[in-house]
A and B are shown apart, each in its own frame.
Chain A
Amino acid sequence: MPGDPLLAVRGLSTWYELRRWGFLHQGWVRAVDGVSFQLAEGEAVAVVGESGCGKSTLAKTLLGLLRPLRGEVWFEGRRLSTADDWRWYRRRVGYVQQDPYGALPPFLSVRRILEEPLVVNGVSSPSKRRAQVVEALEAVQLVPPEEFLTRFPHMLSGGQQQRLVVARAILLGPRLLVADEPVSMLDASVRAEVLQLLRSLQQRHHLSVVYITHDLSTVRHFCERVLVMYAGKLVEQAHVGDLLREPQHPYTQALLAAIPDPDPDNAKRLRPVPPGEPPSLVRPPEGCRFHPRCPAAIPGVCDRREPPDFQVRPGHVAACWLYEGARTVTVVSAAEGAESR
């Protein structure tokens, strides 16, 4: 049905169990704790946050590599609950890893690397496999493909390796790509190239993309919406332009203020930074998880009750008590945001 989200996530929690001597339960690391969002078909969202905020755990959950403890994941209108559902789902999701060199088997040629998923998924005709491999290489602009087929990963530059990883991810024609920090290991001049490739594939094949990153300065041109994560929770969701122009959550504001632009005046002034460090995910603070560091924290409120998602404007929500007058929402859809533009 048009307008239906491709992926819908409600109250998703992925926790890791802490044990002593391998069996005594010690507690939980709440890496992803009650996350809800939707992803429309052909839409790219960035999940932004600092290390340890749970964004990679969210990526692994969305890839079906970790089973969530609680919450619902819906894909193409089907709720994923049984192992069969997840297996069906995994064929429709592509994974772009962070470290291209680590993600590519060093002793396999490009041809073997790309044929492997086809063999596993039952494409038995060698000529058909070859055609698909060549097509994937062309799609990621590793051309002419014949030249690359016999090469090994170490013979490729960092940017080419990452494009090979992308080729492998799109080989089976997925509907969704999960890219976990796809450019953080690459040099600045190569980053733009890989991100532009992902963007063009997204638009050409009408793919949806979840782009996990810690680098807000790369999101503007490569996604429609941004989800900001802090200590296992989504604290703000908005269209990329709105978020960069008018961040609402104090954490997002602090994050944006801390990022320098290449400006000669930077060296002359100090940057405002909130005190402290992100909380432990084993015993997160009560109420809003950012309240111990928040300059705008309201005593008696922020340290007691957990803020729901308040809708600041259509398509823009912030989990923050400062916006208590606004209406609350359970899940923000991409369509709402689109109306406001």
Chain B
Amino acid sequence: MAPLLRVEELRLYFRTAAGPVRAVDGVYLEVGRGRTVAVLGESGCGKTSLARAILRLLPRNVAHYSGRVLLDGEDLMDLPEEQFRQEVRWVRLSLVPQAAMNSLNPVLRVGDQVAEPLWLHGRVRRPEEARDHVAEALRRVGVPTEFADRYPFELSGGMRQRVAIAMALVLRPQLVVLDEPTSALDVLTQANLLNLLKTLRWELGTSFLLITHDVATASELADDVALMYAGQIVEFGPAERFLTEPTHPYAQALRASVVGLREERAPQPLPGRPPSLLNPPAGCRFAERCPARFDPCGQAPPLVPVEGGGRVMCWLYTQEASHAR
């Protein structure tokens, strides 16, 4: 069966005074039905831009936007903007934005905000109907229904985050993009929210695309991990493999730099920094920092299928590597 979402050769460049910034540069990604894919990457690697490119929430300074975004086999890139707004965004694909708890409208009551997508997309006709829907949406995310009459400032950060999730789920979309859902929250609130997201996954069967910089957060939710570096997905595959035996040298270095609470080993820093996205190197973008660099790395690496599913963008897993040895 075809995956729910399939992204091919997606590119999103921004126009700046210094030239185009290649925030998303040829991304290939798949999200299976009912599965959660974590897009993992460090700050500035383009992961939020990738989310915006998928949802077509673009700023004004777009220099280039191309590729294929297939939802249920239908290419969303072909749809005119108005049709995309009416039929796709929030109906089939929705977003919990970064720092969602601060993205609520401060002068609207919580219940009215959650009801807004229902009105705009003509799902309800009478206020009582909307109220019932809202009550159900809030109950689903563990917010007491009487909070519907409150304003966002009367709620704690964790509760506001839940309201934002309720809003994203209220039209029952097939795929929800979660942009750093827990990064601004405390440890215990974070654990609580991750528990909620896990339960929602199990109960609703919704697919999630989780954008995060934190390996541990990814491990809490992800079935698959897409590791992003300098605008590209360098490794894609089952979360289990990423967490235990990462393939790409960057994935290995990233795993070594992060230690868990119960791990005894010392963290290994990764020297250097990612290349500028203004004019990234023509070859492998990680080559400069890579301990396994060899001759072919000066050219753009291919996407190589990996045993057990997924792909890696690295010369080490090609014919060239065996010749070089």
- A residues contacting B by CB (< 8 A) are 50-51, 157-159, 187-193, 195-196, 214, 216-217, 220-221, 244, 254-256, 258-264, 266-267, 270-271, 273-274, 277
The stretch that binds A, out of B166-174, B220-228, B277-285, B296-304, is: B220-228
Contact yes or no, B187 A50, CB < 8 A: yes
Q: A50, A196, A244, A271: which contacts B194 (Cβ < 8 A)?
A: A271
Asked if B243 is an interface residue, CB under 8 A from chain A, the answer is: yes
Q: Give 5 nearest A-B pairs by CB, closest first.
A: A261-B260, A193-B269, A258-B191, A192-B267, A189-B270
Contact yes or no, A51 B186, CB < 8 A: yes
Distance A93 CA – B254 CA, assembled complex (angstroms): 34
Contact yes or no, B216 A262, CB < 8 A: yes
Asked if B33 is an interface residue, CB under 8 A from chain A, the answer is: no
- B residues contacting A by CB (< 8 A) are 36, 42-43, 156, 158, 186-192, 194-195, 198-199, 213-223, 239-240, 243-244, 253-255, 257-264, 266-271, 273
Q: Which residues in A have their C-beta under 8 angstroms from that of B43?
A: 158, 187
Contact yes or no, B257 A217, CB < 8 A: no
Distance A229 CA – B226 CA, assembled complex (angstroms): 37
Contact yes or no, B187 A221, CB < 8 A: no
The winner among B221, B222, B260 for most chain A CB atoms within 10 A is B260
Contact yes or no, A192 B257, CB < 8 A: yes
Distance A266 CA – B254 CA, assembled complex (angstroms): 19
Chain A residue at minimal CB-CB distance from B244: A264
Contact yes or no, B257 A188, CB < 8 A: yes
Distance A254 CA – B222 CA, assembled complex (angstroms): 24
Q: Given A270-B199, A273-B188, A189 and B255 touching (CB < 8 A)?
A: no
Contact yes or no, A262 B215, CB < 8 A: yes
Q: Which residues in A have their C-beta under 8 angstroms from that of B271?
A: 193
The winner among A51, A188, A263 for most chain B CB atoms within 10 A is A188
25 A–B contact pairs at CB < 8 A? A188-B42, A188-B213, A188-B214, A189-B253, A191-B257, A192-B268, A193-B270, A214-B186, A221-B266, A221-B267, A244-B261, A244-B262, A258-B188, A259-B261, A261-B263, A262-B260, A264-B243, A266-B216, A266-B219, A267-B219, A267-B220, A267-B221, A267-B223, A270-B195, A270-B198
Q: Which residues in B have their C-beta under 8 angstroms from that of A217?
A: 216, 259-261
Q: Given A196-B269, A261-B261, A262-B215, A254 and B253 touching (CB < 8 A)?
A: no
Q: Which residues in B have their C-beta under 8 angstroms from that of A260?
A: 191, 194, 216-217, 219-220, 260
Q: B158, B186, B222, B264: which contacts A267 (Cβ < 8 A)?
A: B222
CB distance from A221 to the nearest CB of B (A): 5
Distance A220 CA – B260 CA, assembled complex (angstroms): 10
Chain A residue at minimal CB-CB distance from B254: A189
Distance A239 CA – B75 CA, assembled complex (angstroms): 57
Distance A271 CA – B187 CA, assembled complex (angstroms): 12
Distance A273 CA – B262 CA, assembled complex (angstroms): 18
Contact yes or no, B220 A188, CB < 8 A: no
Q: Which residues in B have their C-beta under 8 angstroms from that of A277?
A: 156, 158, 189
Main secondary structure of the interface of A (DSSP, over half): helix
Distance A193 CA – B271 CA, assembled complex (angstroms): 8
Contact yes or no, A274 B188, CB < 8 A: yes
CB distance from A335 to the nearest CB of B (A): 26
Q: Which residues in A have their C-beta under 8 angstroms from that of B213?
A: 187-188
Q: Which residues in A have their C-beta under 8 angstroms from that of B258?
A: 188, 262
Q: B187, B192, B219: which contacts A262 (Cβ < 8 A)?
A: B219
Chain B residue at minimal CB-CB distance from A219: B261
CB distance from B280 to the nearest CB of A (A): 16
Chain A residue at minimal CB-CB distance from B259: A217
Contact yes or no, A187 B42, CB < 8 A: yes
Q: Which residues in A have their C-beta under 8 angstroms from that of B239?
A: 264, 267
Distance A39 CA – B171 CA, assembled complex (angstroms): 56
Distance A108 CA – B239 CA, assembled complex (angstroms): 45
Q: Given A159-B273, A254-B188, A273-B188, A264 and B240 touching (CB < 8 A)?
A: yes
CB distance from B308 to the nearest CB of A (A): 13
Contact yes or no, A273 B192, CB < 8 A: yes
CB distance from B263 to the nearest CB of A (A): 7
Distance A244 CA – B264 CA, assembled complex (angstroms): 11
Q: B42, B191, B199: which contacts A273 (Cβ < 8 A)?
A: B191
Distance A262 CA – B266 CA, assembled complex (angstroms): 15
Chain A residue at minimal CB-CB distance from B261: A217
CB distance from A100 to the nearest CB of B (A): 13
Distance A252 CA – B36 CA, assembled complex (angstroms): 31
CB distance from A143 to the nearest CB of B (A): 13
Distance A221 CA – B259 CA, assembled complex (angstroms): 10
Distance A50 CA – B266 CA, assembled complex (angstroms): 24
CB distance from B233 to the nearest CB of A (A): 18
CB distance from B270 to the nearest CB of A (A): 4
CB distance from A249 to the nearest CB of B (A): 14
Distance A267 CA – B199 CA, assembled complex (angstroms): 10
Q: Which residues in A have their C-beta under 8 angstroms from that of B199?
A: 270
CB distance from B289 to the nearest CB of A (A): 9
Q: Given A255-B187, A263-B219, A264-B243, A216 and B269 touching (CB < 8 A)?
A: no
Q: Which residues in A have their C-beta under 8 angstroms from that of B270?
A: 189-190, 193
Chain A residue at minimal CB-CB distance from B266: A221
CB distance from A135 to the nearest CB of B (A): 23
Q: Which residues in A have their C-beta under 8 angstroms from that of B214?
A: 188
Q: Which residues in A have their C-beta under 8 angstroms from that of B269?
A: 189-190, 192-193, 196
Distance A271 CA – B199 CA, assembled complex (angstroms): 11
Distance A273 CA – B273 CA, assembled complex (angstroms): 37
Distance A273 CA – B220 CA, assembled complex (angstroms): 15
Distance A117 CA – B198 CA, assembled complex (angstroms): 51
Contact yes or no, A262 B190, CB < 8 A: no
Q: Which residues in A have their C-beta under 8 angstroms from that of B264?
A: 220
Contact yes or no, A188 B187, CB < 8 A: no
Distance A274 CA – B188 CA, assembled complex (angstroms): 8
Contact yes or no, B243 A191, CB < 8 A: no
Distance A287 CA – B264 CA, assembled complex (angstroms): 37
Chain B residue at minimal CB-CB distance from A258: B191
Chain A residue at minimal CB-CB distance from B44: A187
The winner among B42, B191, B192 for most chain A CB atoms within 10 A is B191
